[in-house]
């Protein structure tokens, strides 16, 4: 995706994200309130108290197809269990107690924070286009971190993301 094409869709995408976050005020919980005991080993207290989780039946995915972005049709149709926008992630209700998916989405929250919305969305779109969902760099980073968390490695997840993005 060229910067020019991205620029054309960026305001619409941001508007959609803003509307989506405002449409789900239904008491989002902070990740801190979920009390996953290992998380403070990986994330700062600030991150855990500012990151929000919303449980939903259907994940909100931007209507890329109807905007004419047909090459992202596969992404729009994919059946994910979670998705992150800015400092909020949405999970399917049955993922409520899935610690690992919370960890994965927190990695995306750190990516959003470090890159800012514009660079995050541009990188994410290009990653999808060039490598597909699973191997796109921002997803690969989240899946690698998730695997290390599952293997009980202990590391500063925020520093790791910052290092990989630099």
Q: Which residues here bind Zn ion, judged by CB under 5 A?
A: 139, 142
Closer residue to Zn ion in complex, CB, 21/109? 109
Residue 4 Cβ, how far from Zn ion at the closest point, in Å?
Answer: 27
Left, alpha or beta for 116 (phi > 0: left; psi -120 to 50: alpha)? left
* Closest residue to Zn ion in the complex (CB): 142
CA distances from 57 to 79, 80, 140 (A): 12, 12, 26
For the sheet with 82-85, list strands across it. Answer: 29-30, 52-56, 88-92, 82-85
Residue 108 Cβ, how far from Zn ion at the closest point, in Å?
Answer: 6
Contact 59, 80 (CB under 8 A): yes
Contact 5, 130 (CB under 8 A): no
H or E element in which residue 53 lies:
strand 52-56
Among residues 61, 64, 121, 112, the alpha carbon closest in space to that of 88 is found at 112
Closer residue to Zn ion in complex, CB, 139/158? 139
Residue 138 Cβ, how far from Zn ion at the closest point, in Å?
Answer: 7
Residue 14 Cβ, how far from Zn ion at the closest point, in Å?
Answer: 20
- DSSP letter for 67, please: T
Residue 104 Cβ, how far from Zn ion at the closest point, in Å?
Answer: 6
Closer residue to Zn ion in complex, CB, 2/129? 129
């Amino acid at each position: 995706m060229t910067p020019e094409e991205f620029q054309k869709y960026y305001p619409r995408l941001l508007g959609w994200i803003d509307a989506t976050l405002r449409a789900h005020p239904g008491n989002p919980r902070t990740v801190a309130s979920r009390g996953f005991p290992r998380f403070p080993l990986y994330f700062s207290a600030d991150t855990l108290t500012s990151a929000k989780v919303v449980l939903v039946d259907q994940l909100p995915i931007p209507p890329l197809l109807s905007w004419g972005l047909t090459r992202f049709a596969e992404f729009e149709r994919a059946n994910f269990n979670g998705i992150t926008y800015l400092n909020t992630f949405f999970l399917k209700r049955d993922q409520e107690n899935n610690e690992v998916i919370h960890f994965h989405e927190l990695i995306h929250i750190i990516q959003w924070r470090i890159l800012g919305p514009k660079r995050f969305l541009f990188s994410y779109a290009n990653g999808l286009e060039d490598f597909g969902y699973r191997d796109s760099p921002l997803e690969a980073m989240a899946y690698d971190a998730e695997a290390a968390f599952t293997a009980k490695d202990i590391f500063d997840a925020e520093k790791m993301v910052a290092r990989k993005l630099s």
